[in-house]
Structure 1
Amino acid sequence: MDIYITTHFCGGHHLRAYPGDCENPHGHNWKVKVTVRADRLDPLGMGIDFRQLKGAVGAVIDELDHKNLNEHPSFQERNPSSEHIAMFLFDSLREPLQSDRFRLYSVEVLETDTSGVVYYGD
């Protein structure tokens, strides 16, 4: 069973060495969907409590919200592209969203309503 939440964050960035406008500082309202895959349900009938899922995701999203992403330690050596943001979120959430019943399955990051990426881990 796949259980997910959606959230969002606002942030600024620029893509170093990009051949176009995105090399200039600009911002986005990124949408994020985090999906956990559960093999079985707990005694209450849940794969993962939404409260637990929202708490783990919220803690990581807070690191990015209303920030210049280029200044974040994870984006010092690599561009804060949607792909790298999805990888950062997945890597940050892999451990807190893992148990004997469930594991992190995917992270989706939408830069706009029509453009995004889904990352499934290594």
Structure 2
Amino acid sequence: MYTLTVRDNIMIAHSLPRPAFGPAQGLHGATFVVELSIRALELDENATVMDIGALSGVLGGALEELRYRNLDEHPAFEGRLTTTEALARHIAEDVAARLSQSEDERLVGLSVVLRENPDAWAGYSLDLP
């Protein structure tokens, strides 16, 4: 199994209005380093999983709707908590939809990791059809 990983970052605002989140219950900002890894069974004719620039563009496209936004007001998260885990899933599903347009049957899965700081991160993985 081959993998290719690219990174980007986003700054968002949100609140986590439940007692379990302590001081993060109130509106606050967060900066995430976002890592996207895709998996392929085989390399393409250029001996790559995918062009790095193309995959960076896919990730950038998925993040654009989130950059500098208050996720409490974002329609995709209405009625949902915007934990790091939930945000990782949202990004992974957006990327999967974008990759499905390529119809590249070699791609079999992807993972998204959001790093809040060097000591804390969460992620979500899924298989591609």
> Distance in 1 between the 2:49 and 2:66 partners?
27
SS, match of residue 51 in structure 1: helix
Instruction: Show the counterpart of 1:17.
Output: 18
SS, match of residue 98 in structure 2: coil
> Distance in 2 between the 1:72 and 1:104 partners?
27
> Distance in 2 between the 1:8 and 1:112 partners?
12
> Distance in 1 between the 2:126 and 2:40 partners?
16
Corresponding residue to 1:89 among 91, 96, 107:
91
Q: Which runs of 5+ in 1 are unaligned?
A: none
Instruction: Show the counterpart of 2:108.
Output: 103
- TM-score for both structures, normalised by structure 1: 0.92
Q: Is the 8 A contact 1:33 1:109 kept in 2?
A: yes
SS, match of residue 18 in structure 2: coil
Alpha-carbon displacement from aligned partner over 1:4-59 (angstroms, at most 9, x marks no partner): 10111011111022342111111111111000001111111111111221111101
How far is the alpha carbon of 1:103 from its aligned partner?
3.5
1:49 correspondence with 2:51: yes
Q: Is the 8 A contact 2:10 2:32 kept in 1?
A: yes
Q: Is the 8 A contact 1:34 1:107 kept in 2?
A: yes
Give RMSD over aligned pairs.
1.5
> Distance in 2 between the 1:61 and 1:35 partners?
15
Q: Which runs of 5+ in 2 are unaligned?
A: none
SS, match of residue 96 in structure 1: helix
Could you tell me which amino acid in structure 2 is paired with residue 101 of structure 1? R
SS, match of residue 79 in structure 2: coil
> Distance in 2 between the 1:71 and 1:53 partners?
28
| Number of corresponding residues | 122
Corresponding residue to 1:118 among 115, 118, 123:
123
> Distance in 2 between the 1:59 and 1:91 partners?
13
